[in-house]
């Protein structure tokens, strides 16, 4: 079963994946070992750089007893001009499931349409990043006890930020109120805002960060991504525009969560790290249990009720 | 055509009538009619019509357009009337229908879509998301495409 955008999951399926991820936590932490994916091979296809996504998929597979192939663009036939279609034909023969990150939008859907094995989208250009969304929802549920009806502020590069695109879609389906904070050139694409509103989501757009966070349940910071800018001068205009430090959090709700898909540049000052608002490192760990649950879903493997 | 007949009747082929005035050239592009075949083509533009005020008409001799070819016209000439002519008579009338997907009619116009790599072999697919208002998105990258962008990106 593929996972290309959050549209591939119903709300019930998303919740059931979070429940499965919860049950897999002892394995994710290394406290238990259950080789549910023994004999299975994952192809990690990273045509664009990644640290957390690639490593967490790899550790997820290994902790469940499976094996991993890693392909990166450097040192592969892609550099010689091989099409994505041809690369996928090869992978179809070598692996049971594939995870793909690619600089071009639509690449994950294209890869999935090229082969029979299940494909998961780990980021396609400025498109979608649904496995990140699952781990974000998992983290939000840990911090807030629920994912329904929350007041979420999304900050930074909402135009090119695929993480923000996928997460806002998902949150809108769970009745969130969204405040989208970005500089004018990095506003959320209008078709996404239209989709959010048509699903009944309350959406506000703003350029000011601090007024937006006082009543927030979650503040989701994102990096302004240099690599997505066609023009360096445009990047310089908006780089470093939104930052949060511990001082800024004085009047926020006590259980407000600061999240970030990482890597951060200067969006979140290290003074926040030691506060109870800091969730970004837990969030990065949560990639493991959620991606375990997703790998099991893709390969049709049931997860036992109790894992010790 | 009850008005003065500007082009003589054809023996066999396809007549596309009631094309919106001025759109016949785009219709020809969409049907890949580019002069590379030897069958006669007659084109009249901006002729008076009792039904729609002013229209274009295209007559293609010795070629019966398939339903699939005709459905390509749904974006620019959805209300055109199609007659398949055999031995000077109307053998069949066909309707143009906008399907749920436009396959290999136009490429996605978004510069960073995976389909911009011309060597990639899978079909170009644009999905009709809603009909009223018309919204069409690339089936791969999900970007919305306006009708004018689609016409600029015809294959």
Do A55 and A189 reside in the same domain of the chain? Answer: no
With an 8 Å Cβ cutoff, are B120 and A84 in contact? yes
Average confidence (pLDDT) over B133-137: 91
Q: Predicted confidence band at B34 (pLDDT cuts at 50, 70, 90)? A: confident
pLDDT of residue A306: 83
Which pLDDT tens digit goes with each residue over A254-286?
Answer: 999 999 999 999 999 999 999 999 999 999 999
Is-cis flag, bond preceding A16, omega within 30? Answer: no
Q: H or E stretch including A234?
A: helix A232-238
Q: What is the pLDDT of residue A108?
A: 98
**List of chain A residues whose C-beta atoms are within 8 Å of the C-beta of residue B119:** 81, 83
- The angle at the Cα of A58, spanning A263 to A298, to the nearest 5 degrees, equals 110
pLDDT tier, B76 (very low <50, low <70, confident <90, very high otherwise): confident
How do strand A202-206 and strand A177-181 relate by DSSP bridges? parallel
Residue A69, strand partner residues = A43
CATH of B13-94, one of 3.10.20.70, 3.30.70.140, 3.90.79.10, 3.90.1640.10: 3.30.70.140
Judged by DSSP in three states, A79 sits in: helix
Mean local confidence (pLDDT), A292-304 = 97
Query: Which is catalytic among the residues A40, A63, A102, A129?
Result: A129
Q: Is A53 a catalytic residue?
A: yes
Taking the alpha carbons at both ends of chain B, their separation in whole angstroms is 32
Lowest mean pLDDT, pick from A13-27, A50-64, B39-53:
B39-53
Q: In percent, how much of chain B has pLDDT > 70?
A: 97
A86 and A28 in one domain? yes
For the segment A86-141, what is each residue's pLDDT rounded down to a tens digit?
999 999 999 999 999 999 999 999 999 999 999 999 999 999 999 999 999 999 99
pLDDT at residue B6 is higher than 90? no
pLDDT of residue B93: 95
Is the bond into A263 cis (omega within 30 degrees of 0)? yes
Between the alpha carbon of residue B87 and those of residues A122, A194, B16, B37, the distances in Å are 59, 53, 17, 21
Bridge partners (DSSP) of residue B61 are B13
The total number of residues written for chain B in this structure: 155
CATH 2.30.30.20 domain position(s) in chain B: 101-152
Q: Is A169 a catalytic residue?
A: no
Same domain, A54 and A159: no
Same domain, yes or no, for A90 and A215? no
CA A216 – CA B66 distance, rounded (Å): 58
Q: Provide the pLDDT for residue B40.
A: 93
Quote the pLDDT of residue B2.
47
Q: Which residue of A has its CA nearest to B141?
A: A106
Per-residue HEC secondary structure of chain B comes to CCCCCCCCCCCCEEEEEEEECCCHHHHHHHCCCCCCCCCCEEEEEEEEECCCEEEEEEEEECCCCCHHHHHHHHHCCCCCEEEEEECCEEEEEECCCCCCEEECCECCCCCCEHHHCCCCCCCCEEEEEEECCEEEEECCCCCEECHHHHHHCEC
- Same-domain check for residues A118 and A184: no
* Cα–Cα dist A94/A68, whole Å: 10
Q: Note whether residue A1 is domain-resident.
A: no
Q: Determine the pLDDT at residue B1.
A: 45
Instruction: State whether B122 and A103 contact (CB < 8 Å).
Output: no
pLDDT of residue B4: 59
Among chain B residues, the shortest Cα distance to A102 is held by: B114
Q: A153 and A253: one domain?
A: yes
In a domain, A308, yes or no: no
Confidence of residue A75 (pLDDT cuts 50, 70, 90): low
Mean pLDDT for the stretch of residues B70-78 = 87
As a whole number, mean pLDDT of residues B6-27 equals 92
Question: What local confidence, expressed as pLDDT, does residue A205 receive?
Answer: 97
Do A109 and A194 reside in the same domain of the chain? no
Q: Does one domain contain both A19 and A134?
A: no
Q: What phi, psi does A208 have (nearest 5°)?
A: -105, 125
Average pLDDT, chain B: 90
A105 neighbourhood in chain B, CB within 8 Å: 110, 112-114, 140-143
A104/B contact by beta carbon, under 8 A? yes
Number of structural domains in chain A? 2
Distance in angstroms (rounded) separating the CA atoms of residues A254 and A276? 8
CATH code of the domain containing A41: 3.40.50.1370
Segments forming the whole domain that contains residue A14: 6-129+286-298
- The predicted structure's pLDDT at residue A80: 74
- List Cα–Cα distances, B88 to A228, B3, B9, B62, B81, in angstroms: 60, 18, 7, 12, 17
- Please give the share of chain A, as a percent, with pLDDT higher than 90: 84
Confidence check: pLDDT of B129 > 80: yes
Residue A307 lies in a domain: no
Q: Where do the CATH 3.30.70.140 domains begin and end in chain B?
A: 13-94
pLDDT tens by residue, A133-191? 999 999 999 999 999 999 999 999 999 899 999 999 999 999 999 999 999 989 999 98
Same domain for A180 and A82: no
Contacts 24+ apart (CB under 8 A), B35-44: B37/B63, B39/B13, B39/B63, B40/B10, B42/B7, B42/B10, B44/B6, B44/B7
Q: How far is it, in rounded angstroms, from Cα A171 to Cα A179?
A: 12
Q: What is the pLDDT of residue A225?
A: 82
Q: Do A105 and B122 touch (CB under 8 A)?
A: no
- Tell me which chain B residues have a C-beta less than 8 angstroms from the C-beta of A107: 114, 140
What's the whole-model pTM score?
0.88
Please tell me whether the interface predicted TM-score (ipTM) of this complex is above 0.90. Answer: no
Q: Judging by beta carbons within 10 Å of its beta carbon (0-12, 13-18, 19+), is residue A227 exposed, middle or buried?
A: exposed
CATH class of B101-152: mainly beta
Q: Are residues A70 and A143 in the same domain?
A: no
Other residues' Cβ atoms within 10 Å of the Cβ of residue B148: 11
Averaged pLDDT score across all residues of chain A: 94
Q: Which residues does chain B have within 8 Å of residue A83's beta carbon, measured at their own beta carbons? A: 117, 119-121
A276 and A141 co-located in one domain: yes
Whether residues A111 and A150 fall in one domain: no
Q: Which residue of B has its CA nearest to A113?
A: B122
| Contact status of A121 with chain B (Cβ, < 8 Å) | no
Predicted confidence band of residue A287 (pLDDT cuts 50, 70, 90)? very high
The highest-confidence range among A48-52, A190-194, A271-275, B131-135, by mean pLDDT, is A271-275
Of residues B119, B55, B42, B48, the one with CA closest to residue B81: B55
Is A52 one of the catalytic residues?
yes
Asked if residue A303 belongs to a domain, the reply is: no
pLDDT at A238: 86
Which DSSP category does A278 fall into?
B
Check if the beta carbon of residue A65 is closer than 8 Å to that of residue A38.
yes
């Amino acid at each position: 079963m593929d996972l290309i955008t959050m549209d591939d999951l119903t709300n019930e399926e998303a919740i059931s994946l979070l429940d499965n991820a919860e049950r897999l936590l002892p394995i994710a932490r290394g406290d238990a070992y259950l080789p549910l994916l023994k004999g299975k091979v994952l192809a990690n296809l990273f045509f664009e750089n990644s640290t957390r996504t690639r490593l967490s998929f790899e550790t997820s597979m290994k902790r469940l007893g499976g094996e991993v192939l890693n392909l990166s663009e450097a040192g592969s036939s892609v550099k010689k001009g091989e099409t994505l279609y041809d690369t996928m034909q090869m992978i179809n023969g070598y692996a049971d499931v594939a995870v793909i990150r690619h600089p071009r939008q639509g690449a994950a859907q294209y890869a999935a349409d090229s082969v029979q094995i299940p494909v998961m989208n780990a980021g396609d250009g400025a498109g979608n990043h649904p496995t990140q969304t699952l781990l974000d929802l998992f983290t939000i549920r840990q911090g807030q006890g629920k994912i329904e009806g929350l007041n979420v502020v999304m900050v930074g590069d909402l135009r090119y930020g695929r993480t923000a695109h996928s997460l806002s879609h998902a949150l809108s389906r769970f009745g969130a109120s969204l405040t989208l904070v970005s500089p004018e050139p990095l506003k959320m694409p209008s078709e996404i805002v239209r989709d959010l509103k048509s699903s009944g989501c309350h959406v506000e757009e703003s350029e000011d960060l601090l007024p937006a966070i006082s009543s927030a349940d979650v503040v989701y910071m994102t990096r302004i991504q240099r690599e997505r800018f066609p023009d360096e001068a445009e990047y310089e205009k908006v780089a470093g525009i939104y930052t949060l430090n511990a001082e800024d959090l004085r009047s926020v709700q006590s259980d407000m969560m600061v999240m970030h898909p990482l890597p951060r540049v200067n969006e979140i000052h290290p003074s926040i790290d030691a506060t109870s608002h800091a969730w970004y490192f837990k969030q990065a760990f949560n990639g493991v249990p959620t991606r375990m649950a997703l790998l099991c879903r893709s390969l049709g493997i049931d997860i036992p009720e109790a894992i010790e | 055509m009850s008005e003065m007949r500007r082009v003589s009747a054809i023996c066999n082929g396809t007549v596309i009538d009631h094309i919106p005035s001025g759109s016949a050239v785009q219709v020809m592009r969409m049907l890949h009619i580019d002069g590379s075949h030897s069958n006669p083509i007659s084109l009249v533009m901006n002729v008076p019509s009792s039904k729609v005020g002013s229209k274009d008409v295209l007559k293609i001799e010795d070629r019966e357009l398939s339903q699939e070819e005709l459905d390509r016209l749904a974006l620019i000439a959805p209300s055109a009337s199609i007659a398949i002519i055999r031995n000077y008579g109307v053998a069949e009338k066909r309707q143009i229908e906008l399907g749920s997907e436009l396959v290999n009619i136009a490429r996605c116009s978004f510069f960073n879509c995976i389909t911009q790599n011309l060597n990639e072999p899978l079909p170009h697919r644009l999905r009709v998301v809603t009909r009223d208002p018309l919204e069409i998105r690339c089936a791969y990258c999900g970007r919305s495409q306006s009708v004018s962008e689609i016409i600029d990106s015809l294959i």
